[in-house]
Structure 1
Amino acid sequence: MTPFQRGGTYERISKADAGDEDGVIRQGEDTAELAQRRGIPIDGRRFSDNDKSATQGKHRPAYEQLMAAVQRGEIDVIIVYMLGRLWRNRRERAEGMEILRKHGVSVLCVKGPELDLTTASGRLLAGLLGEVDTFEVEQMSEREQREMLQRVERGQVPTGPRAFGYTADGSEVIDSEAAEVRKMFAAITSGATLSGIAADLNARNILNRNGRPWTHNAVRYLLQNERYAGLREYNGTTYAGKWPTIVSEDEWRQAVAILTDPARKTSPGPARKWLLSGIARCGVCNDGTTMTSAQCQSRTAGKIYASYRAYKCRGPVKHLARKADPIDLLIAGTEPGQPLGLVPQLLVKEDAASLLLDGERPDMDELAAKAAALRARLRNMTDAFADDDEADALEFKRAVRRVKDRLSDVEQQMTSPARTAVLGDLVRSDDPVAAWAAASLDRKRAVIDMLMTVTIHQSGPGRRRFHPESIEIVPKIG
């Protein structure tokens, strides 16, 4: 007759494909067979963790339930396939052995001995067998880490799930997806939000690598993934890879800098829907409080006759509400037959390129003098060529190209990387008005926030008439 009357089984497998329970099922069959052969009643006391690594300290709910049952006196013997399925790190083994000793619980192994943990010899054997298991796991981990380091040092393609933009083995670029990756990097550096980028992808029915819609967190993970710049970080060190890149290292680092900026708002929230919400300031509070947007209704004698968008103060007292459409047109309008908004007016000015200059550079005066000298040299070269009938046209073009390249380099040094990312292609466009009109809402908001501070004051006399002077504009640049 068996000395055990309250048996419990425990099965665990460390790695399993999604939905694959064959490993724990096989262990369960073997532990049940041992219990039956020894005449140990189980009565439903079966505990199983699938794909749970004890070595890495992952949460094992079934193991915790097993230990709780032991402490309640419901189990006097635990049946496992082998001791390593129960404990595989020293801390858990020491804690578990003490619990089993205290409550007089033994361990039976399908592949291994019977361990009476109420005796010193039983605990010694369990400790020795456990140390062998730990040694094997640690040795395997060391081999895997060394192999991983070798792969990283050789620049081999990372293993694991497919990265959006690459084939399954990571060795080739999928052109259509890579184009979307580049758009995401360009968008974040030009002022777009993560939610806005995700919304744009979903609106165009571009699905992620798993065939699902994008979330702001999925976009964030992608933009911070050094793999797209041909890099790989391992144990705090960055290594160069030999797979094809999708963006440059500079583009990737710029995106990471933006996303990890402590000043950046990290609340996911919904993507912005209106031009100035969260940007324009309330002129009544005059304390930096920003405006939010809402749908308002006009009433006469209690009857609703119109609905309109309005900018309202965020403060507890809604003392300011202004119709949004005329304010948006004043700032950003490109309506045919109507005056251009303030932003497109700035973009079409002859000196619009000055918006890109970094006025805080300590050597700006020196760079400006160099640029002026090079421009003067170009004019003199052109005049000299026009006056010299025997001048060599090919030599003239080469000389002009060299001077222009030097001028371009100086001008690049004079520009602000942040301003260039947000404003560059708009300022340099052949049709800045059309480029502005085609820009996304996130882009327009980033441009406005960079160029000016917009403060909305209470409207003047006459409720039906918009007074532009009630909108205060203070330039931030120039």
Structure 2
Amino acid sequence: MTETRAAIYLRISADPTGHQLGVSRQREDCEKLCADKGWTAVEYVDNDTSASSGKRRPAYERMLADARDGLIGAVVAWDLDRLHRRPIELEAFMALADEKRLALATVSGDIDLSTAQGRLTARLKGSVAAHEIEHKRARQLRAARQKAESGLPQWRQAFGYTADTREPDPVTAPLVREAYAAVLAGGSISDVSREWNAAGVCGLMGKPWTAQTLSLFLRSPRNAGLREHNGDIVGTGTWPPLVDEDTWRATQSVLNAPGRAPGRKSVRRHLLTGVLRCGKAGCGGYLSGQWVMQAQRGAPRSHSITYACKTCRGCSIRAEHVEPLVYKVIAGRLARPDAVDLLKAEVHDAAEAETLRVERLALLGRLDEIADERADGLLTGQQAQRATARITEKLSAIEARQQDADRLRVFDGLPLGKPEVAEAVKELTPDRLRAVIDVLVEFVVTPVGKGGHTFKPDRVEVNWR
């Protein structure tokens, strides 16, 4: 009588403790079954592994490989659902069992895969298992949705909050608020991440911040106390927000602006690149900074930054001449007593901001309705085009009003109308300074004329917006 080597397949879907108690219980029963049949047991274990997720089961795959190689002649499991929870896997196993004449024995009862009745029984049990999985998943999805709608958090730990109470952390929560304010004021995510890293402020994993990770963090609705589920905001969370919802939504508009991808590297390496307009007739391009070699009589050659127009290549100006002038012009304007008038617009009116947001969402919804009505034949192509054009025009007007409000946030924190604003302007990051310039003024640099060896301040035209 030849020896039958039987594969004992042991699996449990979840083992959070790692003690393998479920596997141990299966092993005892399966070993007894092998002893009763006179089979020699060979063990294959996939602990804490689901059979319904479609993920790899290394021990199961090794068992099939050994069966193909003729190393085992039988398979033993506590129940058929320990082997398979998906019909497609069951069919593949039955084909292999038929080819290699594998015996199958389960603690819950033998199934003879060589007979039509046995195959039917296996398929029925497989279908029942698949139904249980689908039903369980539906219950889990509904429970998750209910939990989200009740506002209960899905997270345990988050930057800006204390780990034990989910209350704003007194150290990191103010940094989060400052980060949102910096972005709305025209600052860059890269600037914020550099400041945090320089101050030794790391994320939860202890790693330095990057522009990409900070961008993802600032996009999280959790920071505004909003509960998200499958990408949709379903309500208000039960935890206190780090920033108000208006600030969070305004920041999303900035982060989602065309051309501003998360972590996109700035191409403006020099302070006034893209700020100074070329004044040569017929050009209208912008000057870009570049390092050039300077030669002066009686002095050694040295490198310095020069802003030059790459469009016409007929206009340039040295940074040491134009940058102090720009700072002086900006500081002078913001130090005037009437500078406070720049903030008289109701840029922080929460009610107006909410009205604009709701109106915009309604118009976007109407665009979707028009597309559906066109697909259903309720509108002709011309009617749909005309309706879309009218709504798009309204959307453009709303977005322009939102942008005007957001742009004026660049003055937040600046002591307008006071002499000390000059020092505050010098401390602005390059991105923040460019944002201030974009709101206030346009600088136009005219080409050098005859006798252009001496810098003349009137070459820089100042056009207030």
- Normalised TM-score (structure 2): 0.66
CA contact under 8 A between 1:84 and 1:133: conserved in structure 2? yes
* Structure 2 residue 116 is matched with structure 1 residue 128: no
Question: Which residue number in structure 2 is paired with residue 250 of structure 1?
Answer: 246
Letter of the structure 2 residue corresponding to residue 444 of structure 1: L
Cα distance in structure 2, aligned partners of 1:108 and 1:354: 85
Match among 414, 425, 431 for residue 426 of structure 1 = 414
Deviation at 1:146, TM superposition (A): 4.2
Match among 273, 276, 284 for residue 272 of structure 2 = 276
CA contact under 8 A between 1:355 and 1:419: conserved in structure 2? no
Cα distance in structure 1, aligned partners of 2:123 and 2:281: 71
For residues 183-237 of structure 1, give each alpha carbon's deviation from its aligned partner in whole angstroms, at most 9, with x where no partner exists: 1111111112222221121122111122211122221222122222222123535
Q: Report the secondary structure of 1:346's partner residue.
A: helix
Cα distance in structure 2, aligned partners of 1:470 and 1:80: 88
Alignment of 1:185-264 (within 5 A): 185-234=180-229, 236-264=232-260
Contiguous gaps of at least 5 residues in structure 2: 347-400
Cα distance in structure 2, aligned partners of 1:328 and 1:71: 78
Contiguous gaps of at least 5 residues in structure 1: 333-339, 360-412
* Structure 2 residue 332 is matched with structure 1 residue 345: yes
Letter of the structure 1 residue corresponding to residue 426 of structure 2: A
CA contact under 8 A between 1:80 and 1:110: conserved in structure 2? yes
CA contact under 8 A between 1:294 and 1:310: conserved in structure 2? yes
Alignment of 1:434-453 (within 5 A): 434-453=423-442
CA contact under 8 A between 1:452 and 1:474: conserved in structure 2? yes
CA contact under 8 A between 1:358 and 1:414: conserved in structure 2? no
Distance 1:70 1:144, change over 3 A: same
CA contact under 8 A between 1:165 and 1:178: conserved in structure 2? yes
Letter of the structure 2 residue corresponding to residue 129 of structure 1: K
Question: Which residue number in structure 1 is paired with residue 356 of structure 2?
Answer: none
Distance 1:469 1:244, change over 3 A: same
Between the two proteins, what is the percent identity of the paired residues?
Answer: 27
* Structure 2 residue 152 is matched with structure 1 residue 163: no
Distance 1:276 1:109, change over 3 A: farther
For residues 52-78 of structure 1, give each alpha carbon's deviation from its aligned partner in whole angstroms, at most 9, with x where no partner exists: 766556x64959987996999899888
Distance 1:436 1:162, change over 3 A: same
Distance 1:70 1:284, change over 3 A: farther
Cα distance in structure 2, aligned partners of 1:75 and 1:457: 87
CA contact under 8 A between 1:281 and 1:289: conserved in structure 2? yes
Deviation at 1:427, TM superposition (A): 6.0
Alignment of 1:60-75 (within 5 A): 60=56
Deviation at 1:441, TM superposition (A): 2.5
Deviation at 1:126, TM superposition (A): 3.7
Question: Which residue number in structure 2 is paired with residue 329 of structure 1?
Answer: 324
Q: Which structure carries more relative contact order (alpha carbon 8 Å, separation 6+)?
A: 2
CA contact under 8 A between 1:297 and 1:305: conserved in structure 2? yes
For residues 256-304 of structure 1, give each alpha carbon's deviation from its aligned partner in whole angstroms, at most 9, with x where no partner exists: 2222233535452269653223444556797775554343334699x98
Deviation at 1:248, TM superposition (A): 1.0
CA contact under 8 A between 2:289 and 2:307: conserved in structure 1? yes
Cα distance in structure 1, aligned partners of 2:187 and 2:432: 6
Cα distance in structure 2, aligned partners of 1:290 and 1:63: 64
CA contact under 8 A between 2:287 and 2:316: conserved in structure 1? no
For residues 70-92 of structure 1, give each alpha carbon's deviation from its aligned partner in whole angstroms, at most 9, with x where no partner exists: 9998998888786556654x5xx
Alignment of 1:409-424 (within 5 A): 416-424=404-412
CA contact under 8 A between 1:15 and 1:53: conserved in structure 2? no
Distance 1:445 1:82, change over 3 A: farther
Letter of the structure 2 residue corresponding to residue 242 of structure 1: T
Distance 1:15 1:225, change over 3 A: farther
Cα distance in structure 1, aligned partners of 2:11 and 2:310: 57
Deviation at 1:130, TM superposition (A): 2.9
Distance 1:323 1:120, change over 3 A: farther
Letter of the structure 1 residue corresponding to residue 191 of structure 2: G
For residues 375-419 of structure 1, give each alpha carbon's deviation from its aligned partner in whole angstroms, at most 9, with x where no partner exists: xxxxxxxxxxxxxxxxxxxxxxxxxxxxxxxxxxxxxx9994213
Deviation at 1:101, TM superposition (A): 5.1
Match among 122, 133, 137 for residue 137 of structure 1 = 133
Cα distance in structure 1, aligned partners of 2:113 and 2:308: 71
